Each structure stands twice: as structure tokens, then as C-alpha cells.
Amino acid sequence: MFKKSMYVLICTLIFTVVLLAPNGFATEKALAATSTEGWHLIKTNYHVSSLDVKVKGGGLGDTFTCEGNEGNMTLSCTRKDNNGKVIAFYNYQVKWDTPPAFIAPNQKTGFNIEVQTIGNKSWSSPPIDAKFDLANLGSPSYATAGLIRFQSTKGETHITNQATYFESGKVIPAGKKGDKKAIWLQLGNSYGYSYVYEWKEASPATPATPSMQNLRATAGNKQVCLTWSAAADKKGLIGYHLFRGTGSGKETTTPVTDFPIKDTSYNDPNVLNGTTYCYTMRPVYSSGMGTVSNEACATPSATAACGGQKASGSGNPILPNGIGTIILSINNPYMTVNGAQREIDPGRGTVPIVYNGRTLLPIAAVIEAAGGTVKWLAAEKKVTIEQKGTIIDLWIDKNETLINGKPGMTDVAPIIKNSRTMLPLRFIADNLGAKVDWDGVSYKVTIQFK
């Protein structure tokens, strides 16, 4: 656990001073190198100012504190008068996932982050931001041309009081052997973390497979048909992940399908006519993902045709305080809730399915097990999910949604199948702040509610 206090006259310190101070950081951990070409995370640093100033005389005193561990830090600033009375303060918590251990060249990257004010008086907690440094690691540049800022899903570069996916505003460019760059996460009050990456070239023993540079995209009517060559290295191969974006270089880090695609073709139905979609593909191995493919783009239209559309796959327990683990599998009518087996749709035998690349299921048992509620308004074909203060509204056969009253979109709309309402699991779990792991070998889904 890190804990540091500083007594200064003001509550805002410049983060660059912290990063440039030779003794202003301590190494948190170092990671082993691998041979895949790209940016590899090699070290994590915790940063705190080298200053330790105590106010002398009759002035006001400000106390800064930061405690916790990587991924979960609580920070505060308190001002007291000469009699020790608190006249202003703020206290806030930052939770985040460690950025990816590997960043492929010319791809965006990101991580989940949550910022929450615990309490305050007179002051507001400072905003959180992150950036990828394009200058030399030893002297990071904060000019606009010297960095790539991360953005929330709303496009904000500085965030407070929200949970979001922080994604780089641009693709991370390629480097050359030995280059070192960093993601700087500023937590406020001159505290932060830097995640140091080193550019590593592909090992001669495992060169990029030429056949992987063979992704093709063909436009259809409300679909894009994709084909690619099989990976030359079949050892440990599970399948393939496609990544989609609305324009060249704009592919997201979320795969098009929840589970790896087993074949070397896929028809993507979650597109709109008249919009250009670009894709990349990576093979998925038991040890991780392989080299990224070439980019392929297509613009679907009403007059285009590219073949038939594919669809992949064929007494409730309560989590204490809504915290715990739920495990379910495709085509299995049972789930486990903290190890206890229960039916997903009691008495009906309904199973989770993969539809247009996404996992759909009757969600009520899952939400209720997590301490939430699900309401059905037949007149509007509307489903309302509420869990821990988050309200999600969805409509049958519609992609439009509402998240706490704000418009959103799901790439696969809810459907009714065999008289049962089937809802998209990934979209709902992500918006409820749950962590979801997808096992492409056993088609098992593990949901962790925090």
C-alpha cells in the first residue's frame, strides 16, 4: 500500500514536475517481454511528488493524501484553519483496469476507469486524464503534437464522477526497436501512474504469417461479408476475432463477436447501408491473440449482394450485496451463482444463444441474482433493467436504448424467440459495470458483479 501526505498552501500541483523529478516515482512492477511485434508493457511506476513541504507560521495548511494500490486509489485534500477546523475538503476514489499488456501498431487502445466523489465541502475533486506520450520517455512533452489523449465514451478527455471506457483518441503508431513510450494516468493532486511500453520486433522464429494479410470485405445489403486465409500456425488456435470501425484506422478494441469465429468467413449483419466499415482480424490462441491482419473496408448498400447471412452457434439465488460471480454456457439451461446451480429460465429450459455474433438470453434470472429487477411493458415491447442505481431501457427489435435516461445503441437488438424475450448480454453487463470473461473454447461466460 502506498501512502503519502503533503502539507502545502495550494491544492493544485503541476503533474509534470512529478514526472520529471528523479526520485518522484517508485517502480511498482516489471513485466516479462514477449516476441510479438508491437508495444509491450514492461514496467509500471507509481508517481508522487518529491516535495514534502510543511507550512510554518500562521497560514492555512492543506493536507494531501493518496492511499491504496494500483487499480484502486483513494485521494483527498483537506484545508484547516489555525484552530484545526476543516474549512474545505474533497475525497474521491479512482478505480481502473491496468492498460493492455500489448498494443498492436496502428490500433487504438484503452481501459476501463471509474471516478467517484466520496465527499466534499466548498471544493470539487480534480478531473482525471490519461495520455500516450509520443516524445522521449525521459522528458515527456505535453504539447498537443507530443501526445495522444484518451477519451471517454462521451468524448471527454478529463473525467469526474463516471464509469467509462477510456480510449486513445487516435491509433497508437508503430515504433522502432528499443523505443520506449508510456501511458500517463494522472490521478490528481500530483499523484499518478505511468505504464511504460517498449517497441519489440517480431522474433525471427515466429514471423508474421503472410496468409494473415489476406482479409477481404465485400459489401452486401445491410451486411458485410468477410473472408480470410487460415492461420499457418494451428497449435493452440481457438478461432478468429474481427474488429470493426466506421472508417480506416478506426477499428475498436471490442471484437465483432463475443466468441472467436471458428471458420475463415463471417457475414457481419450489424451494419447500416451507406456507411463505410473497415475491419482487421487477429487469430485467437489459447495463449493470447496473434498478429493483426491487413485492413479491409466495404460500404453496404441496398443494391449490393454478398451471400447468405450467417448466425453463429446454435427459487433464484441472490449475490450478497449484488457482488459475486455468475457462470453460464451457450446452449446450457443452467447457470451457477457463486457455485450454486440454478435454471436460467425456470421450468422452460431456455438456453443462451449466439445471434448475429452476440450472446442473447432471458436476462431476468441473472439480473435478479445480482440484486436487480427486470420489468416488461408489453404495450411498448419495452424491457427496463435496474441494478444498483443504473437503469437500462431496451425495446424489442430496436437498437436504440436508454442508459439512465441518456440515449445509447446496442449493435444487436433484443428479440423474441420461442415466446421468450432474449436480450444482449455484453451490452447489459458492460453498462452495469460487470466484468465479463468469454471462454471461446468451452463457450462459457463468467460474469463478475462488483
Topology of domain 210-298, CATH = Immunoglobulin-like (2.60.40)
Q: What is the pLDDT along the chain (450 residues), one digit of tens a residue?
A: 333 333 333 333 333 333 333 333 343 444 444 457 888 889 888 876 443 333 333 345 677 777 888 889 888 888 888 888 888 888 999 999 888 888 888 888 999 999 999 999 988 888 999 888 876 544 444 444 578 999 998 899 999 999 999 999 989 998 888 888 899 898 887 778 889 999 988 765 444 443 455 788 888 888 899 988 888 888 889 999 999 999 888 899 889 998 899 888 898 888 898 899 999 999 999 888 888 988 889 888 887 777 653 333 224 456 776 788 899 999 998 888 887 777 888 777 889 999 988 999 988 888 888 888 888 888 889 999 998 889 999 999 999 999 999 999 999 999 988 878 899 999 999 999 989 888 888 888 999 888
CA distance 23 to 95: 25
Amino acid (1-letter code) at residue 176: K
CA distance 204 to 242: 26
For the chain, the structural domain boundaries read 2-200, 210-298, 320-449
DSSP string, 204-249: TTSPPPGGGS--EEEE-SS-EEEE-PPPS--TTEEEEEEEEESSTT
DSSP string, 105-156: TTB--EEEEEEEEEEEEB--PPPBEEEEE-S-TTS---SGGGEEEEE-TTS-
Instruction: Assign domain 320-449 to a CATH class.
Output: alpha beta
**β-strand partners of 107:** 172
* Number of other residues whose CB lies within 10 A of the CB of residue 437: 11
